[in-house]
Amino acid sequence: GTGYRARTRFAKFFNLPELMNLFKEVADIKTADQLHLPTPEVAYHTIATKPTQIQQDMVKALSERASKVHSGAVSPDVDNMLKITSDGRKLGLDQRIINPMLPDEETTKVNQCVANILQYWRDGEEEKLTQLVFCDISTPKTTPSQRAAKASPGTLDSPEIHALESAISLEESTETPFTVYEDVRQKLIDAGMPPEQIAFIHDANTEVKKRELFAKVRSGQVRVLMGSTAKMGAGTNVQDRLVALHDLDCPWRPRDLTQRKGRIERQGNQNKLVHVCRYVTEGTFDAYLWQTVENKQKFISQIMTSKSPVRSCEDVDATALSFAEIKALCAGDPRIKERMDLDIEVSKLKIMKADHNSKQFRLEDSLLKYFPEKIEEHKGFVRGLEADMQILAAHPLPAEGFVGMEIRGDRLTDKENAGAALLDTCKEVKGKDPVQIGSYRGFTMSVAFDSMWKTYTLTLKGQMTHRVELGSDARGNLVRIENALDKMPERLRSVQEQLENLYNQQAAAKAEVGKPSRRSRSWPRKRHG
């Protein structure tokens, strides 16, 4: 039970500002820090209890089971990681869930929770302050009348109802099964809390019963309400007198934890300060579950905020336990987890080192091939555009009239005739290969036809090629041709800027080549530490 193994998972988002800008195009986000709602201040209390000797032994047994599952020594139908995870959660809550015959030891978190409930109950007696207890595991299995009979022998609320309930549950054992709900309730009653002040949300199985129960909690008639996240989460409006909320177990999802807290941190609560108590049994799955969910919630909170999000954010995204993590937790040896973390860090450093080496190779390759080729190419563009601008200057437009256009050997000096002749010539071109048709202002003209888009493209060829998409308007085509030639100075400036950028990138690449990685000093220390 002392093995370990690192697992690869989704871990980090980058470019969160861009992600949130994209998300906000389809979502309107308003968070609590923007709304400034009159909610009470929340004081958080983490109550960590030591595991009993039996729990420690059971944790080791879980580790052995995990080893067998991982090695394939046991069939998945007999045992698997989901079963081990489920048993681990139950064990972290109370060992009697695994076996009701095990002793009820005073140091368990269930007993600590009972003590805290009683303390808040006594302190809030005058104002009839109320409390919520959340527990998703070991939910009640008995009926209200059976609990009433157990609490007050001989005083059934209704023998007829009890008979009906017994008839419905024909297969139910005569011995009441152990549940944490029943255990907490009975201990509260034994300590002096009236039974009618304790309720389970599971008993309110209709909307009418729920409304009646919630009204009793709001008025202080019911002082302690127990329930699961699913049944007592969203839609439970009983905040009026709530002073404390107890999380006996940890839900799988951060949103469930948020829903729980939202029952007490809510508008309409008469208390200015409220308490959220979270219970964890050390050395069990509890510690892992709480750490995971809280880290995930912190990650979510960094994104779902009114403030500018950070550039990157890590996510501990694993609600199903892997073999390695179960082994590390069950072993109870912090050195196992530390070793696993170090191995993960070494793996990260290896990846960073390989990435750095790859970048160095790409930089060297760019300096050897890419930049020389691209720089020479852009120099050729500059020379070509400058030469074409000289051709254009040698064939200026006249102050008045039309400079003339040669089409199919005919010199056309009238705009209307030139435009019409250009359209007629286009009709003769059937393929995508350019067909030379004449010249204009010192440039050779060719036309090609795109059969897919049904368009004609005219190219003016000097040292460089200048393209014009032709339309059906004769005069408009001549204007388009002139506009393409007029853009030559703009094209030259753009190419010169690109050439300057290439020189700058080349200089930056030269400066980066041979530089060691920023984390290179950590490599030997982590590797041999």
What top-level class would CATH report for the domain 33-141+177-327? alpha beta
Residue 1 confidence class, pLDDT cut points 50, 70, 90: very low
Predicted confidence at residue 85, as pLDDT, reads: 84
Quickly state the pLDDT bin for 171 (edges 50, 70, 90): very low
**What residues does each domain of the chain span?**
33-141+177-327, 378-488
Average confidence (pLDDT) over 275-282: 90
Q: Give 113's contacts (C-beta < 8 A, 6+ positions apart).
A: 47, 133, 184, 246, 248, 277, 279
- pLDDT value of residue 340: 63
Mean pLDDT of 245-256: 88
C-alpha span between 423 and 453 (Å, rounded): 17
What is the mean predicted confidence (pLDDT) over 277-303? Answer: 74
121/242 Cα distance (integer angstroms): 11
Share of the chain above pLDDT 70, in %: 77
Residue 371 pLDDT grade (very low, low, confident, very high; cuts 50, 70, 90): very high
Whole-angstrom Cα distance, residue 266 to residue 245? 12
How are beta strands 273-281 and 312-314 bridged, if at all? Answer: unpaired
338: left (phi > 0), else alpha (psi -120 to 50), else beta? alpha
Dump pLDDT digits (tens) for 48-104.
889 999 999 998 898 888 888 888 898 988 989 889 888 989 999 999 999 999 999
Q: What is the CA radius of gyration of the chain?
A: 39
Average pLDDT, the chain: 82
- The owner of tokens 């939910």 is 139
Beta strands 443-450 and 435-440, pairing class: antiparallel
**Pick from 190, 80, 96: which is nearest to 137 by CA?**
96
What DSSP designation does 412 have? E
- List all residues 6 or more positions away from 470 whose beta carbon is below 8 Å from its beta carbon: 422, 423, 426, 447, 455, 456, 457, 458, 477, 480
Res. 384 pLDDT band, cuts 50 70 90: very high
- Residue 458 CA to its chain's centroid (Å): 51
**Is residue 109 pLDDT above 60, yes or no?**
yes
Residue 15's pLDDT is: 74
Structure tokens at 40: 């009470």
How far, in Å, are 15, 36, 45, 300, 519 from residue 30 at the CA level?
Answer: 21, 11, 28, 14, 40
Residue 188: is its pLDDT beyond 60? yes
pLDDT of residue 180: 94
- The rounded distance, in Å, linking the Cα atoms of 5 and 344 is 9
Q: How many CB atoms lie within 10 A of CB 17?
A: 11
Instruction: Give the C-alpha separation, 299 to 310, whole Å.
Output: 11
pLDDT of 497 over the 70 cut: yes
3-state secondary structure of 38: coil
pLDDT at 48 (0 to 100): 85
- Tokens encoding 394: 């040698």
Whether 62 and 88 have beta carbons less than 8 Å apart is answered as yes
Can you read off the two tokens belonging to residue 201? 């949300």
Q: What is the pLDDT of residue 525?
A: 57
SS3 call for 51: coil
481 token code pair: 């041709």
- The answer to whether the beta carbons of residues 411 and 404 sit under 8 Å apart is yes
Which one of 169-183, 215-229, 273-287, 504-518 scores highest in mean pLDDT?
215-229
Instruction: Write down the pLDDT at residue 403.
Output: 93
DSSP state string for 93-109: H-HHHH-TTS---TTSH
Question: Whole-angstrom Cα distance, residue 52 to residue 56?
Answer: 6
b/e string for 282-308 if b means 16 or more Cβ within 10 A? ebbbbbbbbebbbebbebeebbebeee
Lowest average pLDDT, out of 71-75, 107-111, 516-520, goes to 516-520
CB 434 within 8 A of CB 459: yes
Strands (E), 378-482: 405-407, 410-412, 435-440, 443-450, 455-461, 465-470
Instruction: Return the pLDDT at 6.
Output: 52
305's CB contacts (< 8 A; 6+ apart) are 31, 33
How much is the average pLDDT of 233-258? 88
Beta strands across the sheet bearing 41-49: 41-49, 273-281, 242-247, 130-134, 224-227, 198-200
Residue 207 has pLDDT above 80, yes or no: yes
Write down the pLDDT at residue 429: 93
Instruction: Of 3, 12, 113, 49, give the one whose Cα is nearest residue 287.
Output: 49
